[in-house]
Structure 1
């Protein structure tokens, strides 16, 4: 088994290093033009612009072009510039390794850990997402590590990685809700303390790197929070703000940002931690203001680790087919709209609706499967107790 797991990790690295070398045109397209695998917030192009500004001692966030967190710009610009071709594949290898180890935490699993590794390694969407070099992959890395630490009840590490997740994607702050469920007062205090200390250090370092300015807050967080820049993406909300009267925008901005908490709190109260955490991540990604397929890779990877509920899924084929159809048609309709001018925004938005419908159906089906699994488990335990009485 260990050899197969190692082979899966090697295959993950090989596919993500070799394919860009074999197809430079695909790499250029995914890095610069693909609307599916990156957004104006997370694109490799925006990251490179930030590195250029930083290297030339310019304020990174003057002009409102760069939306990458300053520490990420500094670390990649100082230590990994020119090494991106191996950095992103290496990050995917770590994610694959962590997912394999997470799956081992559930003894009733139906998929072997090495199978999960091979699925992740050979996922074509995952390969293209890696080639696009969206910096959101770092958020995916910290999220899966946070989940792994949570399952191991590593309270200090949980606070550290929750802070890193929130630094890269402010909506990840709501992941503290399912974490509360598995923590007693003392342990939660430890997690919270490390979270605040780490967040303070991250803020002070970012402030220093931004020429003692808070401009990075507006560019990296508030731009997304207030939908300050509207651009086509796989999310639901961008089209609303194109068509909406300006008078209504502040109201719906708050509604869309609060929507995630409305679902996450009751699910965290009702479901066991491993399910509520995954659903919290999925809901964050579902309501992401600037959505991309990196989100889908993270959700599906975490979902595979809980294969023991697969038998209770009822709409899996429908959800998967809708997602596949959306992934195939979205670049075609975007090309018709932007490059050929023979379509309009309605064409592309219709496909994003199809994508989000597939995601929503999959999430609802997942919740149903979890409830069925719980019911079956409770029934089995009751029968065992009854047998024990005689």
Structure 2
């Protein structure tokens, strides 16, 4: 060996043994940092959930008169198909061996009767605990959805880099998502009036989480439960089927997976229907699904149906019922297909459409839609009308109780006052939906065609 080669070996040999330990140390440090972040995020999420539950329980204890005399009568928070007073009436009829669907008062799913039957003879505090726990579970599931999306985004960035060149990867933390939902006044008011829409939200959120995790059977069951509780979540079958098909690569396998998911959903829904027909007869179907589709009770709410069908002539009523209901339901397939590569986003869009166009909407429906939005934090910079949408929603929410007071209590207004506030409210939701969809399309354009990032998009 020459003196030059010996010198060269002496220079290289100290570096070789050190390369392995340095890499191991860096990997260990990265894992430790990730583990610490996960633990701290978990503790923050636990505190958020505890604080949200504490606020709700304190409100139940400290302000019972406000809840019973004012909030429980708010048509903005409670509807004929979500009212706790009507649920209590149904439970009372069941306790006396009378069918709850005979009197024309109870129009909610028999699932709620089975759930609350055990709490009928217990103090009211336990019922409040059920509502608070269900709302906390919704927040927890939303946080898990955000965490799952965050992990997928980090893996994609490590493998292929940022989706949009030069973009700073930001994601709303799971604890922040839970906090934005729990401390939203709309979700808080929904729990305080004990609206049964909370359990529909729980079923919807559980279906989305199960679908995102690849648990197709659980997602189908939860979607069927949500449909039985509120009917309109039937639209979510399309994105749930796409989530199940996303794990198949071949087109034929994807179509088979979609068809199988839809068949499973119809089977579960049919089995539930058969069980309840055996228990309560076809009266239950007339009082629940048929009641919702026909909009048999035209009590004012924050939707579009009630005022229009008060004014319509009877001979045209059936035609416009079909038109209005199809307007809401027809979005399921096109929205899901357009965003088929992002089924969670498609489901979020459909939740917003349900909130705006269902026959008996309430502020609680908007609370779930707003709770899903922080999961898609990367779209915020693409939204052009966020300020306008926020103002429209705040105006609609703020003016509705005022106009209701002027109309019903003071007698100095009329139905046009309240309906005008609902129009502003619904228009704010529709504006937000269009802006959100446009933001996702613009982001997809930036991903697939980076050269167009600096150009404005003009539609002709």
Which of 154, 176, 179 is the aligned partner of 2:237?
176
Could you tell me which residue of structure 1 aligns to residue 101 of structure 2? 61
TM-score for both structures, normalised by structure 1: 0.93
- The structure number with the bigger radius of gyration is 2
Could you tell me which residue of structure 2 aligns to residue 85 of structure 1? 128
Which of 372, 376, 383 is the aligned partner of 1:313?
383
Counterpart CA distance in 1 for 2:70 and 2:428 is 23
TM-score for both structures, normalised by structure 2: 0.79
Residue-by-residue CA offset, 1:63-117 (whole Å, 9 max, x unaligned):
2111111221122122465311101010011001000010112235531111112
Could you tell me which residue of structure 1 aligns to residue 207 of structure 2? 146
Could you tell me which residue of structure 1 aligns to residue 83 of structure 2? 43
| SS of equivalent residue, structure 2 residue 148 | coil
Could you tell me which residue of structure 2 aligns to residue 345 of structure 1? 415
Which of 35, 38, 46 is the aligned partner of 1:6?
46
1:330 and 2:396 correspond? no
Which of 194, 197, 205 is the aligned partner of 1:136?
197
1:275-294 alignment runs, 5 A limit: 275-294=345-364
Q: Measured at CA, do residues 264 and 195 of structure 1 come closer, stay the same or move farther in structure 2, by a change above 3 Å?
A: closer
1:229 and 2:229 correspond? no
Could you tell me which residue of structure 2 aligns to residue 114 of structure 1? 175
| SS of equivalent residue, structure 1 residue 289 | coil
Q: Which runs of 5+ in 1 are unaligned?
A: 384-390
Counterpart CA distance in 1 for 2:175 and 2:230 is 30
1:254 and 2:294 correspond? no
Indicate conservation of the 8 Å contact 1:163/1:195, yes or no. Answer: yes
Counterpart CA distance in 2 for 1:40 and 1:31 is 15
Counterpart CA distance in 2 for 1:315 and 1:350 is 21
Q: Which runs of 5+ in 2 are unaligned?
A: 1-40, 154-169, 246-253, 454-460
Which of 255, 267, 273 is the aligned partner of 2:343?
273
Task: Count the aligned residue pairs.
Answer: 381
Indicate conservation of the 8 Å contact 1:96/1:120, yes or no. Answer: yes
Q: Which moved more, 1:346-355 or 1:308-317?
A: 308-317
Indicate conservation of the 8 Å contact 2:446/2:452, yes or no. Answer: no
Indicate conservation of the 8 Å contact 1:155/1:190, yes or no. Answer: no
CA shift, 1:262, in A, is: 3.1
CA shift, 1:26, in A, is: 2.0
| SS of equivalent residue, structure 2 residue 331 | helix
Q: Measured at CA, do residues 30 and 373 of structure 1 come closer, stay the same or move farther in structure 2, by a change above 3 Å?
A: farther
CA shift, 1:152, in A, is: 1.3
Could you tell me which residue of structure 2 aligns to residue 361 of structure 1? 431
CA shift, 1:195, in A, is: 2.3
Residue-by-residue CA offset, 1:313-371 (whole Å, 9 max, x unaligned):
11111111111111111111111111221111000000000100111111011011111
Counterpart CA distance in 2 for 1:119 and 1:259 is 30
Counterpart CA distance in 2 for 1:19 and 1:176 is 36
Q: Which moved more, 1:286-295 or 1:256-265?
A: 256-265
Could you tell me which residue of structure 1 aligns to residue 448 of structure 2? 378
Q: Which protein has greater RCO, CA pairs closer than 8 Å, 6+ apart?
A: 1
CA shift, 1:200, in A, is: 3.4
Indicate conservation of the 8 Å contact 2:71/2:189, yes or no. Answer: no
Counterpart CA distance in 2 for 1:21 and 1:381 is 59
Counterpart CA distance in 2 for 1:189 and 1:45 is 40
Could you tell me which residue of structure 2 aligns to residue 24 of structure 1? 64
Could you tell me which residue of structure 1 aligns to residue 13 of structure 2? none
Counterpart CA distance in 1 for 2:65 and 2:371 is 28
Indicate conservation of the 8 Å contact 2:110/2:276, yes or no. Answer: yes
Indicate conservation of the 8 Å contact 1:125/1:297, yes or no. Answer: yes
Residue-by-residue CA offset, 1:297-326 (whole Å, 9 max, x unaligned):
110111121112111111111111111111
Counterpart CA distance in 2 for 1:97 and 1:154 is 18
1:296-307 alignment runs, 5 A limit: 296-307=366-377
Q: Which moved more, 1:250-259 or 1:321-330?
A: 321-330
Indicate conservation of the 8 Å contact 2:400/2:421, yes or no. Answer: yes
Counterpart CA distance in 2 for 1:381 and 1:177 is 33
Q: Measured at CA, do residues 376 and 44 of structure 1 come closer, stay the same or move farther in structure 2, by a change above 3 Å?
A: same
1:149-164 alignment runs, 5 A limit: 149-164=210-225
Residue-by-residue CA offset, 1:220-261 (whole Å, 9 max, x unaligned):
111110111111000011111111111111110000111123
CA shift, 1:178, in A, is: 2.5
Indicate conservation of the 8 Å contact 2:241/2:262, yes or no. Answer: no
Q: Which moved more, 1:172-181 or 1:336-345?
A: 172-181
